[in-house]
A and B are shown apart, each in its own frame.
Chain A
């Protein structure tokens, strides 16, 4: 809790300084002339004054941080829109893809992991273990490309890019259906790696608990298997799993960059790459701050959940 704020300050400062030190600086694209036409020296100077680019780096950082806290995230060099507005437009898309992937991970990983643990050393267990090992090694962009080839190009079952069909003008249920069809592949791709690794954790955590005395006691006093596994065993194995789950969320957010790029979905990841190519510094800083906040926030959540779920932690 105490650490989160200084961490965020440190990270934003490092990234801010890194941005300032890169060759060219924010106006490199304008200075280059190129397609956008020459920008005169006076105009450049006016821009430099406007954005305070001649101030020392630490002054720029303090100004930026002060405005950030006040809710002014600056305006995009490129579109002229407030950064916060641009992020508000894109963030829900990324969170939607990410949230659905997380849900899919939960729905798949828990039953499979638990079953594999209960049927240890059976064919099912071996299959689960090896498939999850494969899942961790699959590059997501390759998986995405192969899915697109199979389900879009060959079978024509699913649309390959975007989040909605631009040619059709659906409304109501048809729009939802259209959106759902578009989401199947991106969500599956993003969920693959996390499902694979969470399944392994669930299996391991379950195995750890199954052998414990209190599980045997629960069996001995005649409780149904369902109750023993679902209540007594699961509750205790959940402690390490919840932590791992919270730590999985930042990975999903960052993984969304690749998924958005393959499936041409305009979320935060694409916004970031577009802005990086245009050297749109205010937007870059905004996206990075959001991402860093999410990473730190989820780490904090993992710590807190751990303490809440395991009363022993408090005594230490």
Chain B
């Protein structure tokens, strides 16, 4: 409404250059330049489910981080007097067949599950950004070669390769993190490459080149910050995928080994007692934690996507 005038539509999508559509008075007087973050936050707040999910996510992270410190039970303490108890006030999530408190195990296991997912996504994003940036900036032969590499990794049967690596090398924190990361970087690489391909032709990049900026400076200082929004969204959604995959691996008995609890591992241990003895709480709570975490991460990712990409608001 205000200064959009001569801009082609495509330009309006660029961060910051968006026309004010939501000025409360509609008079445009209050329009001030806003940063990407504050702009995105304004949009994000409107997405109520995403906001609620963000709160849930923070609660889970805080609970997992400080919870085990507040509860007096040790996650690995065995107490046969209290074995296989259904949920009660003393043990809100019940106990397992060794009398270990499930709540504290769920919180303790959550630390590992979340840490693995975060680390794996960091690996995936780093590899994806590096390969995507090189491919997009260099173009031609290098681009072609790297994109074929992406195709190869995309066609790999991911879970099968993970199972293979875990049985042959043996599970460990970094094995799992790196294996997960190496199988999830391709999407990011494609996104980053696409952004780089279009951004490197922009005038401001040409201007930077004209004043003699070095290649590294152009890539990291000028192009990468403008390609950040899709990376953030895909990283967020990647966390959900990593949590699910790590849990699946642990569930198959190929992830972390006992006594270390992870959500998937607890479900694996719970299988018999749920199916044969009907101790539903053994499986219900660890799975519920995976479910709620993945769900809220997905909602947050969805909200972020809407927040950083104004095009999607029109729908």
Contact = CB atoms under 8 A, between A and B. Distances in A.
A278 B268 CA distance: 21
A15, A141, A258, A277 pick with most chain B CB within 10 angstroms: A141
Contact of A146 (B151, B159, B287): B287
A148 B275 contact: yes
A206 to B, nearest CB: 13
Interface in B85-142: none
Given A141-B267, A145-B267, A152 B275 contact: yes
Given A145-B274, A254-B158, A19 B164 contact: yes
Nearest to B158: A254
B155 interface: yes
A10 B244 CA distance: 28
Interface string B147-169: 00001100111111101110111
Given A139-B291, A276-B167, A11 B156 contact: yes
A142 interface: yes
Interface stretch (A49-57, A78-86, A130-138): A130-138
Nearest to A28: B168
Contacts of B264: 139, 141
Interface string A1-18: 001000100110011001
B157, B159, B286, B295 pick with most chain A CB within 10 angstroms: B157
Contacts of B252: 257-258, 261, 273
A142 B163 contact: no
B84 interface: no
B160, B270, B271 pick with most chain A CB within 10 angstroms: B160
A277 B163 CA distance: 10
Nearest to B149: A10
B160 A272 contact: yes
Given A142-B291, A277-B167, A154 B152 contact: no
Interface stretch (B185-193, B211-219, B277-285): B277-285
A237 B290 CA distance: 34
B247 A139 contact: yes
B51 to A, nearest CB: 15
A24 to B, nearest CB: 8
B156 A292 contact: yes
A153 B277 CA distance: 8
Contact of B164 (A134, A141, A276): A276
Contacts of A138: 291
Nearest to A22: B168
B242 interface: no
A142, A143, A261 pick with most chain B CB within 10 angstroms: A142
B251 interface: yes
Q: How many A residues are at the interface, by size bracket?
A: 35 or more
Interface in B268-314: 270-271, 274-276, 278, 280, 283-284, 286-288, 290-291, 294-295, 298-299
Given A3-B151, A153-B274, A257 B159 contact: yes
B232 interface: no
A108 B157 CA distance: 27
A160 interface: yes
Contacts of B294: 137, 139
A30 interface: no
A10 B152 contact: yes
B246 to A, nearest CB: 11
Nearest to A276: B167
A134 B292 CA distance: 9
A295 B158 CA distance: 10
Interface in A162-221: none
Contact of A262 (B152, B271, B284): B271
Nearest to A145: B283
A71 interface: no
Given A139-B247, A139-B291, A142-B291, A257 B298 contact: no
B293 to A, nearest CB: 9
A14 to B, nearest CB: 7
A257 B163 contact: yes
Given A139-B251, A145-B287, 19 more contacts: A15-B161, A134-B295, A139-B248, A139-B290, A141-B267, A141-B287, A145-B267, A148-B274, A148-B275, A149-B274, A149-B283, A153-B274, A160-B275, A272-B160, A279-B167, A279-B168, A288-B157, A292-B156, A296-B155
Q: Which 10 pairs between the two chains have the least Cβ-Cβ distance? A: A142-B287, A22-B168, A137-B295, A276-B167, A291-B157, A137-B294, A145-B283, A153-B278, A141-B251, A10-B152
Interface of B: 151-152, 155-161, 163-165, 167-169, 240, 244, 247-248, 251-252, 264, 267, 270-271, 274-276, 278, 280, 283-284, 286-288, 290-291, 294-295, 298-299
